[in-house]
């Protein structure tokens, strides 16, 4: 990766009005990354036996739950813009909490609490607008905001 970015740095256009061009600092940094990575790798190889022993002590890693968490973050970030913050928070959070083992009513209440917190704190108290989404989502969120005086 560092080599690729060093190559990209070398492709940057040169400037006549500065002695140190825009490529110099990134190259120093990338060489630093390469050198420190190499030394870390050497250390890792030298300590390989110790690491393989400690690895077995880590226990069960919940891969499915981690993947679900990543999917939840991605879907929350994406739906945040299209359905607005209210619906995005309620829908994705409820589904995720149900997946990780919460009872549906508990998941729904938690999502409602977070969505209400966002609604009251940001657009109402701090005057920070949050996305209201498109179509019907925007209409509903806007109506709620109007009811709250925003």
Partner 1 sequence: MLDYIWPALLNLLSPANIAIIIVSGFIGTLAGAMPGVSASAITAIFIPFTVWLPTDIAIVALIALYASATYGGSITAILYRIPGTPTSVMTTIDGYEMTKKGRSGEALMLSRFYSLLGGLIGGLFIIFMTPLFVDIAIMFRSQEIFALILMALAFLATFEGGVKALLSAFFGFFLATIGQDPLTGIFRFTFDIPLMGGGLGIVPVFLGLFAVSEILRLMEGELHPFVASEKYRFRELLTPSWNFFKKSAPLIFVIAIPIGFLIGVLPGVGATTAAVVSYTMAKGMSKKPEEWGKGIPEGVAVPEAANNAAAMGTLVLTLTLGIPGGATAALILGALIMHGATPGRYIFKDNPLLGYTILLGAIISNIVFYVTAPIVIRMFVKLGEFLRRNIPQMAVLIVFFSIIGTYVIRNSVFDSATVLVLGIIGYLMSKCKIPLGPAAITFVLGPLAEKYFRRALDISRGDFTTFVSSPVSISIYVLTLALIVLPRIYLKMKQAKDPEKTN
- Per-residue interface string for the shown chain with partner 1, residues 118-147, x marking contact by CB under 8 A: x--xx---xxx-xx----------------
C-alpha to C-alpha distance for 138 and 76, rounded to whole angstroms:
17
**Between 78 and 136, CB nearer to partner 1:** 78
- Give the SS3 label for residue 19: coil
> Are 123 and 150 a contacting pair, CB within 8 Å?
yes
Q: Binding to partner 1 by residue 105, rule CB under 8 A?
A: no
* Site pattern 19..38 for partner 1 (x: CB under 8 A): xxxxxxxx--xx-xx--xx-
Is 73 a residue that touches partner 1 (CB under 8 A)? yes
Integer angstrom CA distances of residue 20 from 4, 8, 9, 10, 120: 21, 17, 13, 13, 50
Q: How far apart are CA 88 and CA 72, in angstroms?
A: 11
Residue 47 is a binding residue for partner 1 (CB under 8 A): no
* CA distance readout (Å), 30 to 21, 62, 115: 15, 34, 42
Measure CA of the first residue to CA of the last residue in the chain; give whole Å. 48
Output the smallest distance, CB 27 to partner 1, in A: 10
Shortest distance (Å) from residue 102 CB to partner 1: 6
Q: According to the binding rule CB under 8 A, does residue 100 interact with partner 1?
A: yes
Q: What residues make contact with partner 1 under the rule CB under 8 A?
A: 5, 8-9, 12-13, 15, 18-26, 29-30, 32-33, 36-37, 39-40, 43, 58-63, 65-66, 68-70, 72-74, 76-77, 80-81, 85, 89, 93, 96-97, 100-102, 110, 114, 118, 121-122, 126-128, 130-131
């Amino acid at each position: 990766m560092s080599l690729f970015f060093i190559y990209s740095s070398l492709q940057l256009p040169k400037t006549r009005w500065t002695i140190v061009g825009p490529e110099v600092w990134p190259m120093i940094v990338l060489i630093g990354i390469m050198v420190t990575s190499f030394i870390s790798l050497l250390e890792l190889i030298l300590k390989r036996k110790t690491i393989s022993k400690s690895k077995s002590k880590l226990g069960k890693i919940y891969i499915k739950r981690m993947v679900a968490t990543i999917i939840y973050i991605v879907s929350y970030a994406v739906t945040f813009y299209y359905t607005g913050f209210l619906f995005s928070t309620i829908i994705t959070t409820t589904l995720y909490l149900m997946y990780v083992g919460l009872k549906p009513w508990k998941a729904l209440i938690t999502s409602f609490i977070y969505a209400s917190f966002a609604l009251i704190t940001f657009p109402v108290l701090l005057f920070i607008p949050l996305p209201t989404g498109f179509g019907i989502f925007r209409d509903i969120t806007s109506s709620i905001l109007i009811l709250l005086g925003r």
